[in-house]
Amino acid sequence: MKKTLLAAVLGVIALAGCGTTGVQPIGNGIYMSSKLGSMLTYNGGEVKADLFREAAEFCGKQGKKVDPVSSSSQGAGIGTYASAEIQFRCV
């Protein structure tokens, strides 16, 4: 019973570390995306770089390039994962 509970808790924690919103339109041609790092990602800048790579791929599919509007990131801490959010246009 204890092993099953432990496995379930670890599974939920592992999934929580992979959270992403995907690219979401927020108006006026601006898109937003946010993401949590994994349990092994400590630097929010790494998460932000991943988001900009995904944004470049998203815009590239439209034959356009990323135009950053704003971004923020936070490193991992006790009880929190590294995270980032970006806003961008495709131009």
- Paired with 90 in beta bridges are 66
Q: Work out the pLDDT band at 5, boundaries 50, 70, 90.
A: very low
CA-based nearest residue to 73, from 30, 40, 34, 32: 34
Mean pLDDT of 86-91: 98
Residue 20 is predicted with a pLDDT of: 66
Residue 21 is predicted with a pLDDT of: 72
Asked if the model's pLDDT at residue 37 lies above 60, the reply is: yes
pTM of the model: 0.76
**Cα Rg, the chain, nearest whole Å:** 16
CA-based nearest residue to 33, from 59, 52, 61: 52
Give the whole-angstrom CA distance, residue 86 versus residue 19.
15
